[in-house]
Amino acid sequence: MLSAWVDQLLGFSTGALEAIRREERYPSLMGWARKEGAELLGGDVALAQALAPVLWNQMPLQRLGYQIETLAVPSSQEPCWCDSGRRYADCCARVMLPGQVPPHLMWMLLLQRLRGKALNEALASDHVPAQALLEAGIVSAEGGQLGRAQTILEALFINADWERLPLESEPAFELLSDVYQERGFTRKKAALMDSAVEYGPGFLRGAALKRLCLRYLDSDDLTSARETFIRTLETMPNEPALAYLESMLLLHEGRPEQARARADFWRRRLLHRSDLDEDQQAFLEQLAEDPEATLAEQMIYADEELAEPLETLTRLLQEFTDGPRLSLLINADSRLEYQQDDLDHARYGMWQQYFTTENEEAPGSGLQGDPWRDARPWLDALCLHPEWLSTPAILQELAMALAGRFGNLPWMFQSIFSPMAQRFEKWLVAVEQAESPFVWGDGDNHVLFRLGLGLIIGMERGAREQSRQLAERLIRLDGEDSMGLRELLLEQLLSDGQDSRALTLIEEIERTCDDGEPWLGLLLGKALALYRLARLEEARHALIMVEKANPWMLKLLVRDNPRREPVTGNSPAPGSRAEAWQYRVLMRPHWVATRGALRWVDARLRSSVE
């Protein structure tokens, strides 16, 4: 019954909107209501006459600068406002509407229909209710009209009195952030986030801080993520979302036991709250029992369309048996060569009918484009043909795809990357036991190297030591380091405090550097490793090289809260502030964790100025 009323109401309201816009006069609306409007309500003239004045009292009029020309509800003895000539008590007052009429329905419908200059004028009128902006933005976004959704939602925040924003601004903020992300407007998204954090009311500041914390986790800026989490905790100390946010943070920091303990703390703290629904209570219980498995399950089911095949795929991976033996031979140059057999070629050909994203040409690169934009076909095909997982070329592309989606989430290691790594281990051992050179460019060797790279990236957050060991083994096989694994290994060694090994690796990279110009991260890592090893004179020389490579670098490194550079997705220009910011995010956690290191750099900067 209610759904029938909603359909009738939307149909009648849409017709009333067009009738009003033609002349913007009340009598014209009532004339429409008694004829065309009544037909939309199954011929019920009385209902049409009673509903039309209610909608008029919501309708913004262009001739009034989008203000509403409100009619006063008549008293019982006054003439009815439907112009029937009868008393109100004997006319519309006797009509019971079948359901509620949303208070901002006409504004929402009008925003859906206005275009160009008219839309901008309406939004600039400052008369649009926040709820109407939100609902119109949702409808536009769900209909794929992201530009229109952006225009509508921005009206709530541009030139806004941030401290007085209504509660509706929180879901509008979330939606606008997603629209910016989808459209690639990273600067606008960052500006919106910063404004909400700095000027917004508590509820909006908390929502922005949660998003900001997740953004730092995604970029592996754990120092900023923890600082932001603490600010979120201070802003909204009893927010249930803090339970999974802190669990994520601790798992990113490599502290699974603390994650379990803190999840149990949040469970005990929040379960007594009466406003938690059953799903929230169950989630807190599961999180306290096993944070990694709970977050992994949540991630798999985050996308409703992909949940079923992803769940099936994780089950298939857990059921992995020993893979088939590789076809290895010694070629004419006395080097070991892997060659795909006919069955592998046939399976890979079938796989490519569904998985259309190709590998980048450069050895150390990933896939061209995003395979997850249309992932359902290849996920379904893989679940129907689990035997395809025995083909290294398919497993390689799958590993790259999964690393791109889940590689920065440490809690996905056990369910996804661990079983794939176990199968690759058997293949890698077979290659190592042959004790012959294994070169990237021979045969199909690149397939195994790329598979190893995908696993290194996928395991880096969840199994750092295993990822590092795999990188070292692949470097030993490929002496030329075609995939640039030494750079990745350097960051891991510095993170693990293995400074002598890091310095040995740096010196090895410097000897093999083709253009003689070490990259900025290498110089920063060298300075840090030398400082930790108390080789201060050499460390000072390394800092001079850093300053020559990028004059912004050391200044950004020592500052606690410098202006952030927006993430654009493009490689920053050498020597630019954007490049310095990128390496600050990557390297500063290592400097912060080293006692006295930043004070030493700061003192050197001050002395050079003096």
The verdict on 279 and 194 lying in the same domain is yes
Q: The CATH number of the domain where 230 resides is what?
A: 1.25.40
Q: Name the CA dihedral angle for 74, 77, 81, 85, rounded to a multiple of 10 degrees.
A: -170
The residue out of 300, 315, 344 marking a domain boundary is: 300
The residue type at 531:
Y
The verdict on 277 and 160 lying in the same domain is yes
pLDDT score for 516: 57
Whether residue 112 is contained in a domain is answered as: no
Name residues whose C-beta falls within 8 Å of residue 256's C-beta, 6 or more positions apart in sequence: 250, 291, 292
Cα separation, 537 vs 90, whole angstroms = 98
pLDDT score for 362: 67
Whether residue 535 is contained in a domain is answered as: no
Which two structure tokens, joined as six digits, stand for 185? 């407007």
Whether residue 226 is contained in a domain is answered as: yes
* DSSP track, 106-147: HHHHHHHH--HHHHHHHHHTT---HHHHHHHHHHHHHTT-HH
The residue out of 45, 79, 107 marking a domain boundary is: 107
What total of structural domains would you count in the chain? 2
Whether residue 408 is contained in a domain is answered as: no
Cα separation, 259 vs 265, whole angstroms = 10
pLDDT score for 274: 79
Mean pLDDT, consecutive 10-residue stretches, the chain (610 aa), reads 78 94 93 93 92 94 93 92 91 90 92 90 89 89 90 86 84 90 85 87 87 83 86 87 91 90 91 82 90 90 90 90 84 92 94 87 73 92 93 94 89 92 93 91 92 91 88 85 80 83 84 67 90 93 91 90 70 85 85 88 80
Whether residue 93 is contained in a domain is answered as: yes
The verdict on 167 and 98 lying in the same domain is no
Of 600, 610, 592, which Cα lies nearest the Cα of 536?
A: 600
The verdict on 93 and 168 lying in the same domain is no
Of 61, 145, 356, 557, which Cα lies nearest the Cα of 153?
A: 145
Name residues whose C-beta falls within 8 Å of residue 374's C-beta, 6 or more positions apart in sequence: none
The verdict on 161 and 295 lying in the same domain is yes
The residue out of 66, 87, 107 marking a domain boundary is: 107
pLDDT score for 505: 83
The verdict on 174 and 287 lying in the same domain is yes
Cα separation, 55 vs 50, whole angstroms = 10
The verdict on 175 and 288 lying in the same domain is yes
* Partners of 338 in beta bridges: 328
The verdict on 271 and 180 lying in the same domain is yes
The verdict on 76 and 183 lying in the same domain is no
The verdict on 164 and 99 lying in the same domain is no
Whether residue 398 is contained in a domain is answered as: no
CB 452 within 8 A of CB 428: yes
Whether residue 270 is contained in a domain is answered as: yes
pLDDT score for 341: 92
Cα separation, 68 vs 255, whole angstroms = 58
Cα separation, 484 vs 135, whole angstroms = 49
> Which residues constitute the domain of residue 218?
156-300
pLDDT score for 521: 84
The verdict on 29 and 89 lying in the same domain is yes
pLDDT score for 512: 67
SS3 508: helix
pLDDT score for 184: 83
Whether residue 547 is contained in a domain is answered as: no
The verdict on 16 and 82 lying in the same domain is yes
pLDDT score for 598: 92
pLDDT score for 164: 83
CB 498 within 8 A of CB 490: no
